């Protein structure tokens, strides 16, 4: 008997699919339940960030930068602020650097909590999602005390921070430090080391190290594949060299190196490291001014590129100045954009249900992919 | 075959562990509040709806320039040479108010609550209140007027006089 001919079927996943984490459309070429190709179509959340940035002054770009990766605004701000500072050549006061690092690391925890919680949701468990949001709420309260906003902070300014931290916030952050450690253990019990979750995510969506490097993946996605590469360690900026922390990598404990579980676990372990960083930075925070003395931002003609370690990878800003109060060109290098580029390759041969697990493990934020 | 049963056993154990933990968490204090009935206490720096105390505004338009989305509309007419120049309140520095301000509108449909306008204001007359519940049925009601002689609130429609006479 000749082999049964099956027809390939093209289906659209998204743009309004809850597990695509925003508005992403994936064109799936399926053969039965197996996915042959997965072609991401992006651009549904395009807001012309780069063009906007050419039409407002340097300070006015900050609110738009906030809205790129809207779950890690503080980390975006730090990248943009440091790029402009590099262009200007200003020195940021020590206290401001410490406040920045505390805020950025707290935001990293908040962002990873969101990634972990929604990942649990993607593979079918609801409780960790609620727990993650409960703990994230704590961090958002801290940010609200400092900046007045809960999601889009505009708090880290060029040359320092907007205002000094509110009195009482240090106690609140300390309280969070004590509160959150045991919560990660709980998260481990209910999700990370849950056998059902492990079986669901191990050996799924394996990204070999070579593929990861070829596609230019950064952040937890690259570290999940076993490469110890973290800009905070490898190209240190701000006060990171003075602080002590480890860079967790994927080791293939449960399955192969670079599978979904490894990427997930890197995020969980990074939260512990971030917590360490927050505690250290808070302890060492010096007194002093919180913003450098400066006039209206007007850099001399020139260009600068600065990259930082975002929760999702390497975020860089390339800024060209023509000597006016508005940037001539601002280009954002987004880690999510590179992450999503390898989707097609790792989805080939996976089940349709696994595509959901793979997207979740890449932890993309469409606001940053499309900008 | 052995792996099959081992997986079942491990799965059951994970569920049991998770359930015990959930039970413990269920008896902790609640993290949620019943929102419309109970409201959170907001910190001092909360960014809510903007408010402009027009009696202290000197019409410098710094706020409108700083705004990244250009949603503050100001019309400032210079006072005549004979006119007396009033001062702002002493707390804001008793600055000269050289302009009539017939229009000071803020379009809250565009505003992104970045607070860049409030920090540049030399008299601190533009600030953010703690009010955050201002959804309206009509988009037009989100454009607020703060101009001189106007009641702060949604912009009133001004009926052009010539249309009145036609009616
Ligand atoms: S808060 Fe920002 S967007 Fe809103 S009016 Fe002020 S400067 Fe403009
Ligand atoms: S809700 Fe927030 S992120 Fe969304 S468009 Fe409005 S300001 Fe931007
Ligand atoms: S910056 Fe202040 S004083 Fe100047 S126009 Fe705006 S509200 Fe008035």
Has residue A22 been placed in a domain? yes
C-beta atoms of A190 and B17 within 8 A: yes
So what's the pLDDT on residue B160?
66
So what's the pLDDT on residue B163?
63
**In angstroms, what separates the C-alpha of B88 from chain A's closest C-alpha?**
26
Has residue A4 been placed in a domain? no
Has residue A1 been placed in a domain? no
Give me the CATH code for the B50-155 domain, please.
3.30.70.3270
Binning pLDDT at 50, 70 and 90, where does residue B159 land? low
**In angstroms, what separates the C-alpha of B144 from chain A's closest C-alpha?**
21
Give the angle A263-A269-A274 at the CA atoms, nearest 5°: 120
Structural domain count, chain A: 1
So what's the pLDDT on residue A38?
86
C-beta atoms of B115 and A152 within 8 A: no
Closest CB to B47: pick one of A60, A149, A195.
A149
DSSP β-ladder status, B50-52 and B126-128: antiparallel
So what's the pLDDT on residue B81?
81
Is the CB of B112 within 6 Å of ligand 2? Answer: yes
Axis crossing angle, helix A260-284 with helix A169-187, rounded to the nearest 10? 160
Any A CB within 8 A of B15 CB: yes
For B104-129, what is the mean pLDDT?
Answer: 87
Q: Which of B28, B111, B115 to mutate to test the interface with A (most CBs of A within 10 A)?
A: B115
CA distance A107 to A76: 10
Chain B residues with beta carbon closer than 8 angstroms to that of A186: 21, 25
Q: Which domain holds residue A142?
A: 9-370
So what's the pLDDT on residue A302?
84
CA distance B36 to B39: 7
Domain segments of chain B as ranges:
1-31, 50-155
CB atoms within 10 A of CB A224: 32
Calculate how far, in angstroms, residue B123's C-alpha sits from the geometric centre of ligand 3.
7
Tokens 């979904």 appear where? A260
Q: Whole-model pTM?
A: 0.86
So what's the pLDDT on residue A248?
87
Q: Whose CA is nearest to atom 7 of ligand 1?
A: B67
**Distances, alpha carbon B144 to alpha carbons A31, B61, B119, in Å:** 57, 17, 20
For chain A, list residues with pLDDT below 50.
none
Q: Does the N-terminal peptide bond of residue A360 adopt cis geometry, omega within 30 degrees of 0? A: no
So what's the pLDDT on residue A35?
86
Is the CB of B63 within 6 Å of ligand 3? Answer: yes
Question: What is the CATH classification number for the domain harbouring A298?
Answer: 1.10.645.10
CA distance A150 to A139: 9
Q: Is the ipTM of this complex over 0.85?
A: no
So what's the pLDDT on residue B161?
66
Counting from 1 in the atom list of ligand 1, the atom nearest the Cα of B72 is 5
Counting from 1 in the atom list of ligand 1, the atom nearest the Cα of B118 is 6
**Distances, alpha carbon A95 to alpha carbons A170, A235, A239, A287, in Å:** 14, 21, 10, 6
For B43-52, what is the mean pLDDT?
Answer: 86
Q: Whose CA is nearest to atom 7 of ligand 2?
A: B112
Helix residue spans in A188-288 (DSSP H): 195-201, 209-214, 220-224, 231-234, 260-284
C-beta atoms of A189 and B116 within 8 A: no
Counting from 1 in the atom list of ligand 2, the atom nearest the Cα of B113 is 7
**Distances, alpha carbon A370 to alpha carbons A44, A141, A325, B161, in Å:** 7, 28, 26, 48
**In angstroms, what separates the C-alpha of A159 from chain B's closest C-alpha?**
15
Q: Whose CA is nearest to atom 3 of ligand 3?
A: B57
Counting from 1 in the atom list of ligand 3, the atom nearest the Cα of B61 is 5
């Amino acid at each position: 008997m000749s082999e049964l001919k099956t027809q390939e079927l093209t289906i659209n996943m998204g743009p309004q699919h809850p597990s695509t984490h925003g508005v992403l459309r994936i064109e799936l070429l399926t053969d039965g339940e197996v996915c042959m190709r997965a072609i991401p179509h992006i651009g549904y959340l395009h807001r012309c960030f780069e063009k906007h940035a050419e039409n407002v002054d340097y300070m006015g770009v900050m609110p738009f930068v906030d809205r790129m990766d809207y779950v890690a605004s503080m980390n975006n701000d730090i990248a943009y602020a440091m790029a402009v500072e590099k262009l200007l050549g200003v020195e940021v006061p020590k206290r401001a650097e410490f406040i920045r690092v505390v805020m950025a690391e707290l935001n990293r925890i908040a962002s990873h909590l969101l990634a972990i919680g929604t990942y649990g949701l993607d593979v079918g468990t609801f409780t960790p999602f609620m727990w993650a949001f409960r703990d994230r709420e704590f961090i958002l309260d801290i940010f609200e005390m400092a900046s007045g906003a809960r999601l889009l902070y505009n708090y880290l300014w060029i040359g320092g921070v907007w205002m000094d931290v509110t009195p009482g916030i240090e106690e609140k952050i300390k309280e969070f430090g004590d509160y959150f450690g045991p919560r990660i253990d709980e998260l481990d019990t209910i999700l990370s080391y849950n056998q059902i979750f492990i079986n669901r995510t191990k050996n799924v969506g394996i990204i070999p190290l070579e593929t990861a490097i070829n596609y230019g993946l950064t952040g937890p996605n690259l570290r999940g594949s076993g490469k110890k590469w973290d800009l905070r360690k490898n190209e240190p900026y701000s006060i990171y060299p003075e602080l002590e922390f480890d860079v967790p990598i994927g080791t293939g404990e449960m399955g192969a190196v670079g599978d979904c579980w490894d990427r997930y676990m890197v995020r969980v372990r990074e939260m512990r490291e971030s917590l360490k960083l927050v505690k250290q930075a808070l302890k060492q925070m010096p007194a002093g001014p919180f913003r450098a003395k400066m006039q209206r931002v007007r850099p001399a003609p020139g260009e600068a590129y600065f990259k930082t370690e975002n929760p999702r990878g390497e975020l860089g800003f390339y800024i060209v100045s023509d000597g006016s109060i508005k940037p001539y060109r601002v280009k954002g290098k987004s880690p999510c954009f590179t992450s999503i580029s390898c989707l097609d390759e790792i989805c080939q041969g996976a089940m349709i249900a696994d595509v959901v697990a793979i997207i979740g493990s890449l932890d993309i934020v469409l606001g940053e992919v499309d900008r | 075959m052995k792996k099959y049963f081992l997986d079942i056993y491990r799965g059951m154990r994970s569920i049991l562990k998770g359930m015990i933990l959930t039970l413990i968490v269920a008896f902790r204090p609640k993290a949620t509040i019943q929102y419309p009935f109970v409201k959170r206490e907001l910190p001092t720096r909360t960014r809510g709806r903007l408010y402009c105390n027009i009696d202290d505004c000197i019409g410098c338009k710094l706020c409108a320039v700083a705004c990244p989305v250009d949603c503050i509309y100001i019309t400032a007419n210079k006072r005549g040479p004979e006119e007396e120049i009033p001062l702002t309140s002493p707390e804001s520095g008793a600055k000269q108010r050289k302009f009539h301000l017939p229009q000071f509108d803020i379009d809250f449909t565009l505003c992104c609550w970045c607070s860049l306008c409030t920090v540049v204001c030399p008299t601190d007359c533009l600030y953010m209140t703690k009010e955050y519940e201002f959804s309206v049925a009509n988009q037009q009601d989100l454009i607020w007027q703060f101009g001189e002689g106007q009641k702060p609130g949604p912009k009133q429609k001004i009926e052009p006089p010539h249309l009145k006479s036609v009616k």
